[in-house]
Structure 1
Amino acid sequence: MNLRQLEYFVAVAEEHKITAAAKRLHITQPPLSHEIASLEGELGVRLFVRRPRGVDLTDAGRVLYSRATTILGLCSSTAREVSDVGLGREGTLSVGIISSSGGQVPNEQMLPLVDDYPKLSLDLREGNTYEVLEMLRRRVVELGVVRTPFADDGLTCHYAEPEPMAAIIPPNMACGDRDGVVSLDELAGKPLVIYRRFEKLLRSLFDGRGLHEFVACVNDDARTTCVWSAKGFGIGLVPESFLSLVNLGSATVKRVEEDALTTRMAVVWPEDRELSPLARRFVDMFDAAYATGE
């Protein structure tokens, strides 16, 4: 007894006619009759009572029909589940994510993930870039969404396009004479609010130009930078895309006009680790929105 025989048997049982069942199955009548006779011979019982206008199930046939529909339904649902897992439509994906990613991740290209609820769920673990990389190392998460600069040794990295930094200038301060942009020279000597990962880069840039850098506040989160800056403690420097997530009150925002002071979002994972289908789907969605080909 095989699945094809059960499918043929169910079709005959539901259509009550060999000819109608053959049409439903898109086969001719002789092979269908042969398979039903073979099934009856294998089981040693009659499954149908032949009548002038069709066939009806015997008692044995009714038992087999109940089991066959269950078996075929289970096979169908199993095939769908296996396909869903293989296509990344089912399962739980653990992602380490930084706060400053919110302007780019999630995005519209990732909305199809919602269509797969409740079979699919996302387990988001938040931290700064260094903490997310440590989560990857300890296998707490499968993917990391981080921001440059970071050490990419041993990592597979898919980058978004570079984005400029923005200066958040509180109402009690002024910086630069132009609307919308400010230079590194104009930021020199001003009290800056930065998060720690940009400390070395900024120091290198200021020193390289012979400019005075005044860091008034160092922290570990873009949200903290925005809050302290908006409240008047200094000029905050954050990735431009992050600004869409915060209310800066009456603070002024200007793009930092400095090619060397840019940052990039990246989805990363250990290069020796094979991604699950769900993780690969997430990466593909990121690439569809931001891929640079690197």
Structure 2
Amino acid sequence: MDLRQLKYFLVIAEEGQITGAAKRLNMAQPPLSQQMKTLENELGVQLLERSSRSVRLTEAGQVLRDRAEQVFELLDTTRKELKDFHAGIRGTLSIGTVASFGVALLPEYIREFREQYPQVTFQLWEGDTHRITELLTSGVVEIGIIRSAHDENIFHSISLPPEPLIAAVHRNYCEIITDRKYLNLADLKGQPLSIHRRMESLIFQSCIQAGFEPAIICKGDDVRSLLAWADHGVGIAIIPRSAAELVPTAHLDIYEIVNPRIELPQTIIWRKQGYISAQARGFLQKITEIVSGSTGH
């Protein structure tokens, strides 16, 4: 397996057909098909399910696609690091972040950072904590922003202020509508809740401590889907506060959950071993200033 074969494979995955991929690569179709068969034989797995007009990735093919994307991103990052080695705080900074943080909170940190370092550009990768730590370990990103525990033997960290969970409720949902800006956690007893899968344990334990077992009707991996359900009057979405604006709507009221509050930890992590660029060091310094209350202005 070499980089050329990986490139061919990625183009086929993107095009969804051998013919389109061959045209894009400016090569004949038979040699491209043979390269893929050679790759499959070498790896000992089927990567593509072929039909007369298209191809579809097998489960093994999906794994290889993810790894190939990381390989080429790492190569690109390495080239940029070497090019910018003596150039000071400039170049490209790759950041991995949980999705809602990347949409709602990260831009504020980026804005303050770019006021001081306007020549830095960014590559943004989104996913869950496992995905972010994997990208960090493989060197695809330099900085990760996560909401779960991490291995302190592998990563340095900066703790960010925890983020509270809120309840997004359709305005016609009369059973729970209130003039208050908040809901007591006990107000959610017996209510149909939609929650993020990775927050299940935190929410469940908080409800048990408040004296009831939550009525969870949906567990999902994307808070936008949970908000969409609530926007259509299906359940109450329990989501991070930063995610409340991800689905523009006039149908939802947002309530802070109190007594007790349910808060998500937020942590910036980076590898203890390995190269860290000047732009990453500058970003971490700026984050430290912001978190400590001193913006350096």
Q: Tell me which amino acid in the other structure corresponds to 2:285.
A: D
- Is 1:115–2:118 an aligned residue pair? yes
Note closer, same or farther for the CA distance 1:170–1:162 as it changes in structure 2 (3 Å cut): same
Q: Distance in 2 between matches of 1:84 and 1:274?
A: 16
The DSSP-based 3-state class of the residue aligned with 1:247 is coil
State the superposition RMSD in angstroms. Answer: 2.5
Matched residue, 2:288: 287
Moved over 4 A (4+): none
Structure 2, unaligned runs of 5 or more = 1-83
Q: Distance in 2 between matches of 1:162 and 1:244?
A: 18
Q: Tell me which amino acid in the other structure corresponds to 2:262.
A: L
Q: Tell me which amino acid in the other structure corresponds to 1:182.
A: L
Instruction: Note if contact 1:161-1:292 (Cα within 8 Å) is conserved in structure 2.
Output: no
Per-residue deviation, 1:100: 1.0
State which structure, 1 or 2, has the greater radius of gyration over its C-alpha atoms.
1
Per-residue deviation, 1:106: 1.5
- Is 1:221–2:213 an aligned residue pair? no
- Is 1:153–2:152 an aligned residue pair? yes
Matched residue, 1:251: 252
Q: Distance in 2 between matches of 1:94 and 1:194?
A: 29
Aligned residues: 206
Matched residue, 1:232: 233
The DSSP-based 3-state class of the residue aligned with 2:87 is helix
Matched residue, 2:24: none
Q: Deviations over 1:121-178 (max 9, x none)?
A: 211111122211221122221111222x333433222122123211100134242645
Per-residue deviation, 1:259: 4.3
What's the TM-score, normalizing by structure 1? 0.63
Note closer, same or farther for the CA distance 1:213–1:111 as it changes in structure 2 (3 Å cut): same
What's the TM-score, normalizing by structure 2? 0.62
Q: Tell me which amino acid in the other structure corresponds to 2:132.
A: V
Q: Tell me which amino acid in the other structure corresponds to 1:191.
A: P
Q: Distance in 2 between matches of 1:259 and 1:84?
A: 50
Q: Distance in 2 between matches of 1:238 and 1:291?
A: 26
Structure 1, unaligned runs of 5 or more = 1-80
Matched residue, 1:208: 209
Note closer, same or farther for the CA distance 1:153–1:84 as it changes in structure 2 (3 Å cut): same
Q: Deviations over 1:67-93 (max 9, x none)?
A: xxxxxxxxxxxxxx76633xx22x222
The DSSP-based 3-state class of the residue aligned with 1:161 is strand
